[in-house]
Amino acid sequence: MSLPQVDPTQYEAQLNCKRERIEQDFAEFELPEIDLYRSPATHYRMRAEFRVWHDGDDLYYVMFEPGDNRTPIRLEACPMVSERIHIMMFELLDALRPDPRLRFKLFQVDFLSTLSGELLVSLLYHRPIGEEWIEAVRPLREKFGIDIVGRSRKNKIVLERDYVIEQLEIDGRSYSYKQTENSFTQPNAEVCRQMIHWTLDASRDAGGDLVEFYCGNGNFTLPLAKNFRRVVATEISKESVRSARFNIEQNGIDNIDVLRMPSEDLSLVLKGQKETRKVAGLALDECEFTTVLVDPPRAGLDDETVSQVVEYPHILYISCNPETLRENLREITKTHRIERFAIFDQFPYTHHLECGVYLTRI
């Protein structure tokens, strides 16, 4: 993990620079007024990974300057992580340091926290761990009120749970999300709530049915279900699909189907060009898909996926990479008009920025 320079007094100035950069980079498009969503200035990261450094009998966390992975910087504080992580991360290290069963060959500690106060800690080792490790680490679970996972080569030990349950208040309703260790979740929960609110507002009049590619654990899927008659979502990660289905059941939502299959396969199914038992009984031919939601990785959408999404009257595009978003929009705007454009500051004090675009067919 690289070390951003956290200075709350500079936050607004840095955010304005990001907005100006987006306005310049997207000047070729006729953008509406940009919706700007801020992050908390401190304690905004719900998950974090820290290298552990051994120096004689000492044991401490280190981070690195961007672009320099050789010169460790000892951490005495970490204002970017959630308050839940920050309160106990150094006390946890104090508890690990004196016990050889816990500290020997420990090289990384991962944290996954929630706004609702839950915390999962993963301890990663360059050695086998087993019963002796379990005996030593179990008291820490009770002491700190946390869940703990141990990882070593080809081995994973779960003391109780390998997930947390997040509670997000969105537009007057509370949604619960199972977030599993070592699976993708949005790192900035407050900004995530704003992203979901924006997608709800942008698509509120779309009507019909929604198809979603790259749905993850249902982060957008669950709240968006209220805007549509039906939602059909795809995801290729087995663990994410399992979490999404768990979340759908826990939230009592009955108009979502999550399929474990590549987005291109679902597109072929919807075109009638492919058959699969995975959609048996879903009566997809009865759906009227007015809207498609895509939240791709940094590489953006490939040409084939772009050709798929432009077939829908409305497009919701969540992007973690403005450069690939711009490339995709050059093609998409040949058939669709940009109605809404948003900036989500998921990663304060860095150059990273997430964007949201809502487009309708010309």
Q: Which residues are marked as active site?
A: 320, 354
Cβ atoms < 10 Å from Cβ of 149:
22
d(CA 244, CA 318): 18
Location of structure tokens 């995801």: 235
Contact 177, 168 (CB under 8 A): yes
Contact 235, 260 (CB under 8 A): yes
User: Which two structure tokens, joined as six digits, stand for 14?
Assistant: 């840095």
3-state SS record for the chain: CECCCCCHHHHHHHHHHHHHHHHHHCCCCCCCCCEEECCCCCCCECEEEEEEEEECCEEEEEEECCCCCCCCEECCCCCCECHHHHHHHHHHHHHHCCCHHHHCCEEEEEEEECCCCCEEEEEEECCCCCHHHHHHHHHHHHHHCCEEEEEECCEEEECCCCEEEEEEEECCEEEEEEEECCCCCCCCHHHHHHHHHHHHHHCCCCCCEEEEECCCCCCCHHHHHHHCCEEEEEECCHHHHHHHHHHHHHCCCCCEEEEECCHHHHHHHHCCCCCCHHHCCCCHHHCCEEEEEECCCCCCCCHHHHHHHCCCCEEEEEECCHHHHHHHHHHHCCCEEEEEEEEECCCCCCCCCEEEEEEEEC
d(CA 198, CA 35): 9
